[in-house]
């Protein structure tokens, strides 16, 4: 049987272990609240294609893969090239819906006659009705402006290019992220090596943030439950 002194020592050790666990959890939570920008691999840049080694002893001045034209433009066309995307998104949508439904039923039962005798007082009638009326109005207006440099990640067989890029801005209250990806045509790139976001196909444009400011403006899970479809009231 454990003595009282041993029992107290055991309790102190247990409290000490519990305190260490709580401190470790608190440290993990503080580390999770760190405002260091987090890189998204889906929008990470890619390096340009490696230059092939120079063939030895072919006796030619021209070497394939090393050519550079003095008259070529600066528009992106190879993997690893940089392209400037102008964010000029301005969308507006409005949806209105209204409906009315009504239904009514009426049923009556004639009193039966048995052996020539009419059973009065057994008359029965049933009436029911239901109606529904609903209106819905939804209006959205979004504006997204600015610019971001993206990198060509793939040149498709038809000459189109996949691009993607991410801009991370560290602020006092957290970080802001702008992420863009999609497919562009070389013909849509102007002489300044820029293109509007409205000409990017299969476009993904993301603007989000993290940190204290974003957490303060985010609804908690309990509040989300009370306004969700799971809430019966």
* Residue 225 to residue 222: CA distance in whole angstroms: 5
Claim to verify: residue 121 and residue 191 sit in the same structural domain: no
Claim to verify: residue 163 and residue 219 sit in the same structural domain: yes
Claim to verify: residue 81 and residue 7 sit in the same structural domain: no
Claim to verify: residue 179 and residue 216 sit in the same structural domain: yes
Claim to verify: residue 126 and residue 149 sit in the same structural domain: no
* Residue 45 to residue 81: CA distance in whole angstroms: 10
Residue 122, in any domain of the structure: yes
Claim to verify: residue 179 and residue 111 sit in the same structural domain: no
Claim to verify: residue 175 and residue 206 sit in the same structural domain: yes
Could you tell me which of 180, 178, 129, 187 has the C-alpha nearest to residue 158?
187
Domain count, the chain: 3
Residue 22, in any domain of the structure: yes
Residue 180, in any domain of the structure: yes
Q: What is the pLDDT along the chain (233 residues), one digit of tens a residue?
A: 445 555 455 455 555 656 665 666 555 555 445 555 577 888 888 887 776 666 665 666 766 666 666 666 788 888 999 999 999 988 777 777 777 777 777 767 666 666 655 556 556 666 777 776 777 777 777 777 889 999 999 999 999 999 999 998 887 777 888 999 999 999 999 999 999 999 999 999 988 887 666 666 666 766 666 666 666 65
Claim to verify: residue 200 and residue 143 sit in the same structural domain: yes
Claim to verify: residue 90 and residue 3 sit in the same structural domain: no
Q: Look up the pTM and report it.
A: 0.57
Claim to verify: residue 76 and residue 183 sit in the same structural domain: yes
Q: Are the C-beta atoms of 154 and 182 separated by less than 8 Å?
A: no
Two structure tokens written together for 158: 């038809």
Two structure tokens written together for 115: 């052996």
b/e 60-90 (16+ beta carbons within 10 angstroms → b): eeeeeeeeeeeeeeebbbebebebbbbbebe
Claim to verify: residue 15 and residue 113 sit in the same structural domain: no
The runs of H, that is alpha helices, within 56-166 are: none
Range of the domain at 188: 69-94+139-226
pLDDT value of position 199: 94
Residue 219, in any domain of the structure: yes
Residue 160, in any domain of the structure: yes
Residue 107, in any domain of the structure: yes
Claim to verify: residue 156 and residue 85 sit in the same structural domain: yes
- Phi, psi for 5 (deg, rounded to 5): -65, -40
């Amino acid at each position: 049987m454990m003595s009282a002194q041993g029992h107290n020592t055991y309790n102190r050790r247990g409290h000490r272990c519990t305190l260490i666990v709580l401190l470790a959890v608190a440290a993990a939570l503080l580390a999770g609240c760190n405002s260091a920008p987090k890189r998204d691999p889906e929008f990470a840049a890619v390096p340009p294609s490696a230059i092939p080694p120079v063939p030895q002893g072919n006796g030619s001045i021209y070497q394939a893969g090393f050519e550079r034209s003095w008259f070529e433009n600066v528009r992106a066309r190879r993997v690893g090239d940089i392209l400037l995307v102008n964010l000029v998104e301005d969308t507006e949508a409005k949806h209105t819906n209204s409906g009315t439904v009504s239904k009514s039923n009426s049923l009556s039962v004639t009193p039966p006659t048995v052996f020539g005798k009419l059973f009065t007082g057994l008359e029965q009638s049933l009436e029911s009705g239901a109606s529904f009326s609903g209106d819905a109005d939804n209006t959205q207006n979004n504006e997204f402006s600015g610019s971001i440099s993206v990198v060509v990640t793939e040149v498709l067989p038809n000459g189109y290019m996949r691009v993607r890029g991410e801009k991370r801005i560290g602020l006092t209250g957290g970080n802001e992220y702008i992420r863009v990806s999609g497919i562009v045509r070389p013909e849509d790139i102007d002489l300044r090596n820029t293109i509007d976001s409205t000409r990017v196909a299969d476009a993904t444009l993301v603007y989000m943030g993290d940190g204290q400011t974003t957490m303060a403006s985010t609804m908690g899970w309990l509040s989300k439950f009370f306004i969700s479809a799971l809430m019966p009231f």
